Amino acid sequence: MSFEALPERLAQVRAEVARLASPPGGVTIVAVTKGFGTDAIQAALDAGLADIGENRVQEAVHKQDALPELTGIRWHLIGHLQRNKARLVPDRFAFVHSVDSLELAHELNKRAAGLRVLLQVNVARESQKSGCAPEQARTLAPQIAALGNLRLEGLMTLAPFTDDVEVQRRTFRGLRLLRDTIKEEEGLWLPTLSMGMSGDYATAVAEGATVIRLGTVLFGPRT
């Protein structure tokens, strides 16, 4: 599959991010290669993207094993992680965006030293999506932060799949305000807000995203 358009698409994304972000330059782009081959990872690296995101542990492991010669990649696990797959995370991922329970956090804490994690919050309360409820996050965040082998750095959410910008905005703003509430109530600062994908990243950046997770807007449609 050809990714010749990737540099131009990336330039457009960066221009949009620079226009909307405050401060500019504070947004990390995670290139989501779910459903693409290892050539997408090489194309991302060639374009200057070192943060690579995968939704499924086993797909990521397969690609990692197929690319032993590539260095400098920061692997992000952005999809739901089952507790029985936690054993596959150490030494393979730098960042897990989808910690959604204390039980999963404990499983990771047993196996990984210094693993950077985010607490996934289901801000929109959609039954089909993972993530803890916002009110649970206020309790879970300090509990996870207290675990010795994990570094809780922020929160993550998914907005509803809709073109309604106001629905997107409410979700992203809700995550930012939740982060601020946790700071006020618990004295716990969580600087990272992972929110926004190909269809809604501009709204997420305008609402304070520090990490955006982009697939099709960079690589084109998945086959």
Name the residue ranges covered by the structural domains of the chain: 6-215
- Cα 65 to Cα 85: distance, rounded to the nearest angstrom: 17
**CATH, range 6-215:** 3.20.20.10
What pLDDT sits at residue 69?
Answer: 81
State the average pLDDT for the chain. Answer: 95
Q: Compute the average pLDDT of residues 81-99.
A: 95
Percent of the chain at pLDDT above 90?
Answer: 91
Residues shown for the chain: 223
DSSP E strands, the chain: 28-32, 51-54, 74-77, 95-99, 115-120, 150-156, 192-194, 211-214
What pLDDT sits at residue 130?
Answer: 92
**Two tokens at 104?**
């999963």
- Cα 97 to Cα 109: distance, rounded to the nearest angstrom: 15
pLDDT band at 213 (very low <50, low <70, confident <90, very high): very high
Q: Higher model confidence: residue 127 or residue 137?
A: 137
Q: How confident is the model over 24-39, as pLDDT tens digits?
A: 779 999 999 999 999 9
- Cα 27 to Cα 10: distance, rounded to the nearest angstrom: 13
What pLDDT sits at residue 1?
Answer: 67
Long-range Cβ contact pairs of 90-95 (< 8 A, separation 24 or more)? 90/115, 92/60, 92/61, 92/64, 93/60
- Cα 209 to Cα 217: distance, rounded to the nearest angstrom: 17
H/E run at residue 139: helix 134-145
**Two tokens at 127?**
């039954």
